[in-house]
Amino acid sequence: MSTEFQWLLKGRCYKLGHDVPHAGGVVPGWIIAGRYFNARDIIPHLFEDTDPGFHERCKPGDIIVAGRNFGMGPKMNGYIAMQALGLGLVCESMPFLAYRAALGCGVRVMTDCVNATDICDTGDELEIDFRNGFFINHTRDIRREYPPVPDALQEIIALGGNAGWLRQWHEDHGKPAAA
């Protein structure tokens, strides 16, 4: 299963600064307060406050590279949109609950990527291997190794997040035996 999943993304870099909050940064606060969890509803508003029109410019495989303390709080809304758009996420650091939320939504995400925002800029051509932790900036000819998605957690991302994981688990184990 893991071998079929696209762990290597090639795309354009969207660089963000430090301390980007989920509400008012990743998505507008009303998306969270209104409990919007459908990707179609959220996508037009992803990074709307800081980068209007982002959702029209980004393409599957593009990479968001964020600084320290990205996406404060255990909110999922923005990650649902990122996963649906096929975007990857590389952060210098994330509060643990933000990391868990991103992973639980099936986002290809690497955190603790020290000084990642120093080695790229918006528009650079990046190649990220989330399973092996490789970060390559083709525009600047820079290559780094960062902590990859832990082995034990790859399955959740590959199955599209917690819901996908549970669906698969139910297929494999959960259904009662036939009478």
What is the closest distance, in whole angstroms, from the C-beta atom of residue 123 to another protein in the complex?
A: 32
- In terms of CB distance, is 68 or 144 closer to another protein? 68
- For another protein, which is the closer residue by CB, 58 or 156? 156
Q: Give the DSSP H/E element, type plus range, for residue 165.
A: helix 162-169
Pick the closer one to another protein by CB: 73 or 86.
Answer: 73
| Interacting residue ranges for another protein, rule: CB under 8 A | 74, 76, 95-97, 100-101, 104, 150, 152-153, 156, 162-163, 165-167, 169-170, 173-176
Residue 167 CB, nearest distance to another protein (Å)? 5
Task: Assign residue 61 a region (left: φ > 0; alpha: ψ between -120 and 50; beta: otherwise).
Answer: left
- In the complex, the smallest distance separating the C-beta of residue 150 from another protein, rounded to whole angstroms, is 6
> Could you write out the DSSP letters of every residue in 58-85?
--TT-EEEE-SSTTBSS--HHHHHHHHH
Task: Report which secondary-structure segment, H or E, holds 136.
Answer: strand 134-137
**Of 14, 166, 163, 21, the residue nearest 80 (C-alpha):** 163
The CB-of-34 to another protein minimum distance in angstroms stands at: 15
CA 151-154-160 angle, 5° bins: 175
Is the Cβ of residue 28 or residue 104 nearer to another protein in the bound state?
A: 104
Question: Residue 138 or residue 169: which is nearer to another protein going by CB?
Answer: 169
**How deeply is 4 buried, as exposed, middle or buried, from its count of CB atoms within 10 A (0-12, 13-18, 19+)?**
exposed
Minimum distance from residue 170 beta carbon to another protein (Å)? 5
